[in-house]
């Protein structure tokens, strides 16, 4: 199982760069970065960095880790532009980029920047066309496409990716997203604890069966907030008062039991965001403790 670190995009560039280098040195397997232009909280003036600019910088600063957006909103860029950005960063990194993509959901960004948000159905229709286009650009010498939202005429993608540039589709929608994962993606990511993940994997496997695809040809990753506690009483307190995003909560042994559940169901990667881990030395200490005290037996 791989273990990867998600660096928040509200940090300054020096802190992002420092955290990336330290994380690679610690032994994390990948670094992820969100694709947003502004916060979704009430403080919309907060600093947010653009994902491909950051990933290109991290491609130069790192040597080994996989790099990717978690995930690009399809509504922000034409799929041909997204493919070109991803390939350029892939070449800078020596072939380490994963192209994470999703339908887009943050409405306030679209309103602020004049980007078309569209209906729920429209966003997923656009995403499906984008996936078809990117897959074709990645493998074919040129791509023509006449869809409802996008049109291409003999469009090349040169150079081709340095690595395989796997497509990671993010989300847990059971009718649309997981069907598209089964049809188009090499990787899939969802916010999930073991209970949520088991259910979503069951849905994905059924879509694969319907489409005639081997479900194990899709790598699966779960992202969850980390709360590594020093005693069971503290972990019980956090569980009782933390009804939000899926989280891994507990002592080292309790967290290992949760990772064992992930491993048993075939999860390939666990992604830990830094959102609640503090800054600087405190964040580094928790990241290293997780790798050495919790994750080591599963690597």
| Domains observed in the chain | 2-298 (3.20.20.30)
Q: What pLDDT was estimated at residue 290? A: 98
- The pLDDT value recorded for residue 46 is 81
pLDDT at 198: 98
128 Cβ contact list (under 8 Å, min separation 6) = 180, 184
Lookup result for tokens 């990948």: 30
**Residues of the chain under the 70 pLDDT cut:** 42
Strands 2-6 and 30-33, by their bridges, are: parallel
Quote the Cα angle for 135-169-15, to 5°.
110
Radius of gyration of the chain (CA): 19
Tell me if the bond preceding 71 is cis, omega within 30° of 0: yes
pLDDT of residue 294: 98
CA nearest 145: which of 103, 102, 154? Answer: 154
Q: What is the pLDDT of residue 244?
A: 82
**Model confidence pLDDT, tens digit, residues 131-185:** 999 999 999 999 999 999 999 999 999 999 999 999 999 999 999 999 999 999 9
What pLDDT is stored for residue 158 in this prediction?
98
As a whole number of angstroms, the distance between CA 198 and CA 116 comes to 35
- DSSP category for residue 9: T
Calpha distance 199→241 (Å, rounded): 24
Predicted TM-score (pTM) of this structure: 0.96
Q: Which residue has the tokens 């679209």?
A: 110
């Amino acid at each position: 199982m791989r273990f990867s670190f998600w660096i928040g995009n509200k940090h300054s560039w020096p802190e992002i760069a420092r955290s990336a280098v330290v994380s690679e040195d610690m032994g994390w397997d990948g670094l992820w970065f969100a694709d947003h232009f502004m916060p979704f909280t009430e403080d919309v003036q907060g600093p947010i960095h653009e994902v491909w600019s950051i990933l290109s910088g991290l491609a130069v600063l790192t040597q080994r880790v996989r790099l990717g957006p978690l995930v690009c909103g399809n509504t922000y860029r034409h799929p041909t532009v997204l493919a070109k950005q991803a390939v350029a960063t892939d070449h800078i990194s020596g072939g380490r980029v994963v192209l994470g993509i999703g339908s887009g959901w943050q409405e306030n960004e679209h309103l602020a920047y004049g980007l078309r948000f569209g209906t729920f159905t429209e966003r997923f229709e656009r995403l499906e066309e984008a996936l078809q286009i990117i897959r074709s650009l990645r493998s074919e010498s040129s791509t023509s496409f006449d869809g409802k939202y996008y049109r291409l005429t003999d469009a090349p993608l040169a150079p081709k990716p340095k690595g395989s540039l796997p497509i990671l589709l993010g989300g847990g929608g059971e009718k649309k997203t997981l069907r598209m994962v089964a049809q188009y993606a090499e990787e899939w990511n969802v916010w999930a604890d073991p209970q949520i993940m088991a259910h979503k994997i069951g849905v994905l496997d059924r879509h694969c069966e319907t489409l005639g695809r081997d479900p194990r040809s899709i790598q699966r990753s779960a992202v969850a907030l980390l709360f590594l506690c020093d005693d069971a009483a503290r972990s019980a307190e956090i569980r009782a008062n933390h009804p939000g995003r899926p989280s891994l909560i507990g002592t080292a042994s309790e967290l290992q039991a949760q990772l064992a559940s992930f491993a048993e169901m075939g999860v390939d990667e666990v992604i830990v965001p830094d959102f609640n881990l503090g800054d600087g030395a405190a964040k580094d200490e928790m990241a290293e403790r997780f790798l050495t005290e919790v994750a080591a037996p599963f690597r």
